[in-house]
A and B are shown apart, each in its own frame.
Chain A
Amino acid sequence: MAGLELLSDQGYRLDGRKATELRKVQARMGVFAQADGSAYLEQGNTKALAVVYGPHEMRGSRSRTLHDRAVINCQYSMATFSTAERKRRPHGDRKSTEMSLHLKQTFEAAVMTQLYPRSQIDIYVKILQSDGGNYSVCVNAATLAVIDAGIPMRDYVCACTVGFVDETPLADLCYAEESGGVSSLALALLPRGGQIALLQMDARLHQDHLETLIEAAMTACKGVSKVLDQVVRQHLEEVSMLTGE
Chain B
Amino acid sequence: MIKTERILHLKSCRGRKVRVVREHYLRERVPCYSGMCQAGCANDGKVLPGDLTHYVVPDVGVVVDYLEILEFREMQGIIFTQTACQAVQHSKGRRQSNRLRNLLKEPRHDCVLFANEFQQYSFCPREKGESQEKWQTRCVYSAAVWYYNHLAGMMDIVMITDDQEAVDQYSSLSSGVYVITVRDYLQNFWPDLQAAHELYASVSQVLQEKESEGKEGEYGEHLPPEVLEAGIKSGRYIQGTLNVSKHRAQTEAFVMMEGFSNKSSDIGCRVLVHGDKSRNRAVHGDVVVMELLPKSEWRGKVTALSEGQGAEKSGEDESKPLPTGRVVGILQRNWRDYVVTFPPREGPQSQSRNSQRILAVPWDYRIPKIRISTQQADALQDHRVVVRIDSWESSSLYPNGHSVRVLGRAGELETEVQTILIENSIHVPPFSDAQLREMPVNSPEKPWKVDPAQVAARRDLRESHLIFSIDPKGCEDVDDTLSVRSLAGGKTLELGVHIADVTHFVKEGSITDLEARTRATTYYLADRRYDMLPAVLSGDLCSLLGGVDRYAMSVMWELDAHTLAVNQVWYGRTIIRSSYQLHYELAQALLNGEQAEVPELARLGSERKDDRLAELTQALETLTHIARQLRAQRDQGGALELEGVEVRAQLDEEKNITALVPRQPLEVHETVAECMIYANHWVARKIQETFPHQALLRHHPPPRQEFFSQLLESARARGFTIDTITNKALANSLDRAVDPEDPLVNRLLRMMTTQAMSEALYFSTGSQSLDQFYHYGLALDRYTHFTSPIRRYADIVVHRLLTAAIAAEGEGAPGKGLASNKELEEMSRHINSKNRAAKRAQKLSTELFQCLFFKDRDPQTDLRCLADAVIYSIRDDGVLVFVSEYGVKGPVYLKNREGQVVTFGQDGSCEWQSGSVRRYPDHISTTSACNTSTFRLFNHITVRISVYSSHCHADRLNLEVISNKPYRSTEAQQPRSEGRCQLVQEVVRLAEEASQQAQEKAARGPKLSREERKFCQSKTPNLYSLLEEVRELALMDPEMIPQVCATEE
B459 contacts the other chain (CB 8 A): no
B126 contacts the other chain (CB 8 A): no
Shortest B4–chain A CB gap in Å is 8
With both beta carbons as reference points, the residue of chain A lying nearest to B820 in the complex is identified as: A167
**A16 CA / B24 CA spacing, docked (Å):** 6
Near A by CB (< 8 A), chain B positions 11-25 give 15, 18-25
Chain B residues in 8 Å Cβ range of A167: 820
Contact pick for A85, options B18, B24, B115, CB 8 Å: B18
B101 contacts the other chain (CB 8 A): yes
CB 8 Å contact bits of B112-137 with A (1 = contact, 0 = none): 01010110000000000000000000
B941 contacts the other chain (CB 8 A): no
A87 contacts the other chain (CB 8 A): no
Chain A residues in 8 Å Cβ range of B3: 22, 24-25, 226-227
**A14 CA / B20 CA spacing, docked (Å):** 14
Which has the most chain A C-beta neighbours within 10 Å: B19, B25, B31, B105? B25
A9 touches B104 (CB 8 A): yes
A16 touches B1 (CB 8 A): no
CB 8 Å contact bits of A190-233 with B (1 = contact, 0 = none): 00000000000000000000000000000010011011000000
- Known contacts A9-B105, A16-B27, A223-B2, A174 near B22 by CB under 8 Å: yes
A16 touches B113 (CB 8 A): no
B1002 contacts the other chain (CB 8 A): no
**A10 CA / B46 CA spacing, docked (Å):** 11
**A5 CA / B18 CA spacing, docked (Å):** 21
Chain B residues in 8 Å Cβ range of A25: 3
**A128 CA / B820 CA spacing, docked (Å):** 43
A98 contacts the other chain (CB 8 A): no
B26 contacts the other chain (CB 8 A): yes
Chain B residues in 8 Å Cβ range of A14: 22
Shortest A227–chain B CB gap in Å is 6
With both beta carbons as reference points, the residue of chain A lying nearest to B20 in the complex is identified as: A84
Which has the most chain B C-beta neighbours within 10 Å: A17, A167, A224? A17
Chain A residues in 8 Å Cβ range of B105: 9
B2 touches A16 (CB 8 A): no
A148 contacts the other chain (CB 8 A): no
Chain A residues in 8 Å Cβ range of B26: 16
A32 contacts the other chain (CB 8 A): no
With both beta carbons as reference points, the residue of chain A lying nearest to B114 in the complex is identified as: A10
B6 touches A12 (CB 8 A): no
A114 contacts the other chain (CB 8 A): no
B1003 contacts the other chain (CB 8 A): no
A235 contacts the other chain (CB 8 A): no
Chain A residues in 8 Å Cβ range of B434: none
B115 touches A12 (CB 8 A): yes
Chain B residues in 8 Å Cβ range of A16: 24-27, 115, 117-118
B18 touches A24 (CB 8 A): no
A15 contacts the other chain (CB 8 A): yes
A227 touches B22 (CB 8 A): no
Shortest B598–chain A CB gap in Å is 56
- Known contacts A9-B101, A85-B18, A223-B1, A15 near B113 by CB under 8 Å: no
A contact residues, range: 20 to 34
B456 contacts the other chain (CB 8 A): no
Contact pick for A24, options B6, B19, B113, CB 8 Å: B6
B24 touches A15 (CB 8 A): yes
With both beta carbons as reference points, the residue of chain A lying nearest to B123 in the complex is identified as: A16
**A220 CA / B2 CA spacing, docked (Å):** 8
B488 contacts the other chain (CB 8 A): no
Chain A residues in 8 Å Cβ range of B1: 223
Near B by CB (< 8 A), chain A positions 150-177 give 167, 174, 176
A227 touches B113 (CB 8 A): no
**A24 CA / B27 CA spacing, docked (Å):** 13
B8 contacts the other chain (CB 8 A): yes
With both beta carbons as reference points, the residue of chain B lying nearest to A223 in the complex is identified as: B2
Shortest B229–chain A CB gap in Å is 8
With both beta carbons as reference points, the residue of chain A lying nearest to B18 in the complex is identified as: A84
Chain A residues in 8 Å Cβ range of B115: 8, 10, 12, 16
A24 touches B20 (CB 8 A): no
Contact pick for A174, options B8, B23, B820, CB 8 Å: B23
**A9 CA / B97 CA spacing, docked (Å):** 13
Chain B residues in 8 Å Cβ range of A183: none
With both beta carbons as reference points, the residue of chain A lying nearest to B105 in the complex is identified as: A9
A117 contacts the other chain (CB 8 A): no
Contact pick for B21, options A5, A23, A131, CB 8 Å: A131
Chain A residues in 8 Å Cβ range of B820: 167
Chain A residues in 8 Å Cβ range of B22: 14-15, 45, 174, 176
- Known contacts A16-B118, A85-B18, A22 near B23 by CB under 8 Å: no
A44 contacts the other chain (CB 8 A): yes
B8 touches A24 (CB 8 A): yes
Chain B residues in 8 Å Cβ range of A15: 22-25
A238 contacts the other chain (CB 8 A): no
Chain B residues in 8 Å Cβ range of A22: 2-3
**A15 CA / B26 CA spacing, docked (Å):** 9
**A167 CA / B822 CA spacing, docked (Å):** 11
Shortest A152–chain B CB gap in Å is 26
B2 touches A45 (CB 8 A): no
Chain A residues in 8 Å Cβ range of B19: 84
Shortest B755–chain A CB gap in Å is 36
Shortest B614–chain A CB gap in Å is 58
Chain B residues in 8 Å Cβ range of A24: 3, 6, 8, 23, 25
A237 contacts the other chain (CB 8 A): no
**A14 CA / B8 CA spacing, docked (Å):** 14
**A131 CA / B20 CA spacing, docked (Å):** 10
A21 contacts the other chain (CB 8 A): yes
A45 touches B23 (CB 8 A): yes
- Known contacts A9-B101, A10-B113, A10-B115, A23 near B23 by CB under 8 Å: yes
Chain B residues in 8 Å Cβ range of A5: 89
Shortest A44–chain B CB gap in Å is 5
**A12 CA / B86 CA spacing, docked (Å):** 13
Chain A residues in 8 Å Cβ range of B117: 16
Chain B residues in 8 Å Cβ range of A176: 20, 22
Chain A residues in 8 Å Cβ range of B31: 10
**A5 CA / B266 CA spacing, docked (Å):** 40
**A5 CA / B115 CA spacing, docked (Å):** 14
With both beta carbons as reference points, the residue of chain B lying nearest to A171 in the complex is identified as: B2
- Known contacts A24-B6, A25-B3, A223-B2, A12 near B118 by CB under 8 Å: yes
**A44 CA / B21 CA spacing, docked (Å):** 11
Shortest A33–chain B CB gap in Å is 29
Chain B residues in 8 Å Cβ range of A84: 15, 18-20
Shortest A174–chain B CB gap in Å is 7
**A224 CA / B3 CA spacing, docked (Å):** 9
Task: Sample 28 A-B pairs with CB under 8 A, ordered by A number.
Answer: A5-B89, A8-B115, A9-B101, A10-B31, A10-B113, A12-B118, A15-B24, A16-B25, A16-B26, A16-B27, A16-B118, A21-B4, A21-B25, A22-B2, A24-B25, A44-B23, A45-B10, A45-B21, A84-B19, A131-B21, A167-B820, A220-B2, A223-B1, A224-B2, A226-B2, A226-B3, A227-B2, A227-B3
Residues of A within 8 A of B (CB): 5, 8-10, 12, 14-17, 21-25, 44-45, 84-85, 131, 167, 174, 176, 220, 223-224, 226-227
Apart from A21-B4, A227-B3, what 20 extra A-B contacts exist at CB < 8 Å? Answer: A9-B101, A9-B105, A12-B115, A15-B22, A15-B23, A16-B26, A16-B27, A21-B25, A22-B3, A23-B23, A24-B23, A25-B3, A45-B22, A131-B23, A167-B820, A176-B20, A176-B22, A223-B1, A226-B2, A227-B2
